[in-house]
Amino acid sequence: MRMIEPMLMELDHEAKTTRRLLERVPGAHLGWAPHAKSMTLGRLATHIAEIPGWISTVVQKDEFDVAAGNRKPGTAGSVEELLRMFDENIQKAQKTMQALTEDQLRATWRLLKGGQALLAMPRMGVLRALMLNHLIHHRGQLSVYLRLKDVPLPSIYGPTADEPM
């Protein structure tokens, strides 16, 4: 079995769970935020939909400089757009991950800011820590946002107060 296979299975599992949560985002409340310092519901959901797309952008190179470029975060205009973006980014991520060699997965990848190294770890670790764990972290935030808007939560790792497994 290739080293990437368990990660691909985990991505598939987490993507299905994440999509169920994204499907419940109330389109009428995309501009709502629980606190002045928090992202809006729409921005948070869009961020979640974007994260898998970073896999194809970030891990194909040996380093990524966050200071390069003028990336301006956007917000999906509808739940349909959000789901389409998520599905496309998951497909791109799977394709990118399947194409990585064992040597690429073991090779050191670096996160830079203005040329200064912030982080260096094997690319496999980047997939886990900066991509998959990042996605799961923000999905947890989204579940709180949805609870605050009284949206029934789907089963994630077990039953919720709204839905048994």
Once rounded to an integer, what is the mean pLDDT over residues 14-39? 97
User: Can you say whether residue 59 is alpha, beta or left, with left for phi > 0 and alpha for psi between -120 and 50 degrees?
Assistant: alpha
How far apart are alpha carbons 104 and 116 in whole angstroms?
A: 22
Tell me, what's the pLDDT at 26?
A: 98
Q: Is residue 9 part of a domain?
A: yes
Q: Is residue 93 part of a domain?
A: yes
Q: Is residue 159 part of a domain?
A: no
Tell me, what's the pLDDT at 74?
A: 87
CATH of the domain at 140: 1.20.120.450
Q: Is residue 153 part of a domain?
A: no
pLDDT exceeds cutoff 90 at 114 = yes
Tell me, what's the pLDDT at 29?
A: 98
Q: 157 in helix, strand or coil?
A: coil
Q: Are 18 and 139 in contact (CB under 8 A)?
A: yes
Tell me, what's the pLDDT at 15?
A: 98
